[in-house]
Structure 1
Amino acid sequence: MSVTRRPRPRASLTALALCTAVTMAGLAAPVQASASAFAAAPAATRQLRDASGVTPIADQAELDAALAANPRVVVMFHATWCGACKQIAPKYAQFAAAYGTIKFLSVDVDDAEDVALKYDISSMPTFVTIRDGKQMDRFSGANPDRLEEKLKALA
């Protein structure tokens, strides 16, 4: 199954990130959008997601740093427009809370194309397990049972 990447305007992505950050923080009040609020949104979203146990990766340098700091890592490659990715994301966050010895990362293939190309991602979601910097396993599809099986093998 091949994946078609759709170009998206960056302003709408930033607005989405801001709305996501506000919603995740439990602040459902209307937000007055400003240029400074849009600029701060990605960092705020990253902090909130990291607090939930899943760390978003923006580029290869961030991934390299995460791999160097953590011996056991699972990476979920996803896209904001991917329905199956949205379906498994809550379960992925639950696994992040349950498996404390494993670092959970997420890579948006549209935002971090360099990472997606390095790992030859052609369908989403794709999960890659890494131990001591070496890829152990990978699979595609929103299958929580299979993901848990791979996590148990990695732990």
Structure 2
Amino acid sequence: MSATPITSVEQFHEVISGSQPALVAFWMVWNEPWRKMNPSFETMSKDAENSAVAFHTVEIGDHQDITEEAGITVIPTFMLYKDGVQIDGFQGAMPDNVKKLIQQGKEL
């Protein structure tokens, strides 16, 4: 399954409050690091071995309310949430760090 876009602050709250670990990518279409990272992120989101983690995206230009609430200041930013708690996260386009977040999510 590919990453699901988050389109409202209510949906964001629902996603991060769930019992399934959620990896959320905050991005903008013009951002070159995201453009390089997106194919890897999508591939990881479709890998059956990663199905324990829900993959989501937030386009920050369209959803400033979510961006502000999450405290995002750099793009891309990747955050792992579970049960309403931010577990971990990082800024930048680093596939190995995304893999680490996925592994953390699988272990929760």
Structure 2 length normalisation: TM-score?
A: 0.89
Aligned to 1:124, which of 59, 69, 75? 75
Q: Determine the structure 2 residue equivalent to 1:111.
A: 62
Query: Which structure 1 residue ranges, 4+ long, deviate > 6 Å from structure 2?
Result: none
Structure whose residues are more often strand by fraction: 2
Q: State the AA in 1 paired with 2:77.
A: T
Counterpart for residue 4 of structure 1: none
* CA distances 1:14-49 after superposition (whole Å, capped 9, x unpaired): xxxxxxxxxxxxxxxxxxxxxxxxxxxxxxxxxxxx
Secondary structure of the residue aligned to 1:86 is helix
In the comparison of the two structures, how many residue pairs are matched? 104
CA separation in 1, counterparts of 2:79 and 2:26? 8
Does residue 77 (structure 1) correspond to residue 77 (structure 2)? The answer is: no
Q: CA RMSD in A?
A: 1.3
Partner amino acid, structure 2, of 1:63:
F
User: In the alignment, does 2:33 pair up with 1:67?
Assistant: no
Which TM-score applies when normalising by structure 1?
A: 0.63
Higher helix share: 1
Cα distance in 2 between the residues matched to 1:71 and 1:121: 22
Q: Secondary structure at the match of 1:139?
A: strand
Query: 1 or 2 for the larger relative contact order (CA 8 Å, sep ≥6)?
Result: 2
1:69 is displaced (CA, Å) by: 4.5
Rg comparison, structure with higher value? 1
Unaligned runs of 5+ in 1: 1-51
Distance 1:94 1:104, change over 3 A: same
Identity over aligned pairs, percent:
23
Q: Name the counterpart of 1:47.
A: none
Deviation readout 1:115-143 (Å, 9 max, x if unpaired): 10011111110000012221001100000
Find 2:93's aligned residue among 125, 142, 145.
142
